[in-house]
Amino acid sequence: MTPIVRFPYARFLDALEQALGAAPEEGSTVLSSPLAGLLRTPQVPGAWTPAAVALVPLLKARQATLQAASDTELAADELRRYQKYAKPGKPSAHIVQLRQRQAAARQATHTSRQSLMKTAAAFVREAGLDVPERVALDAFIVEWLDMHIPKDAAPGA
């Protein structure tokens, strides 16, 4: 059985959304100093850069991508489990429904990946990040998020 994937940046995303909507003085505790340098404007204390505003949709797109990938795996696992014992010939109505669910989950995965690529391109442009040659944008941005965005504590910790 495929484990349920949880979004590792949920608390940070909530805090960033609140900080962007709050007065400049109130949102100062959200960011670590290296990340604050990228997301805060040095000219105007307490103001946010366009990269900070672009980070919220990027994190939401990453969350949607993780959820869609998990849904696709669950649908595929369920379909494999039932197809194993299916009789040859015309598939049952249940198998057809499972195939439709898998197709919908795969479509959601493709859509969420496109959204991730679009928001990643906007974030990279706004933040002024240099994507190395021969590295896919989605792979670069996922690695960048893992390195720079604080993750939530493990559920059992």
DSSP 42: S
- Tell which wins on pLDDT, 153 or 126: 126
Tell me which of 97 and 41 has the higher pLDDT. Answer: 97
Percent of the chain with pLDDT over 70: 83
Contacts 24+ apart (CB under 8 A), 145-150: 145/9, 145/58, 145/59, 145/62, 148/34, 148/35, 149/9, 149/12, 149/35, 149/59, 150/9, 150/12, 150/32
Distance CA 109, CA 94 (A): 22
Per residue in 37-92, pLDDT (tens digit) is: 677 777 776 678 888 889 999 999 999 999 999 999 999 999 999 888 888 889 88
pLDDT at 25 over 60: no
The residue extents of the domains of the chain are 50-148
- The closest of 114, 116, 96 to 104, measured between CA atoms, is 96
Q: Specify the pLDDT at position 23.
A: 54
If one compares 119 and 23, the residue with the highest pLDDT of the two is 119
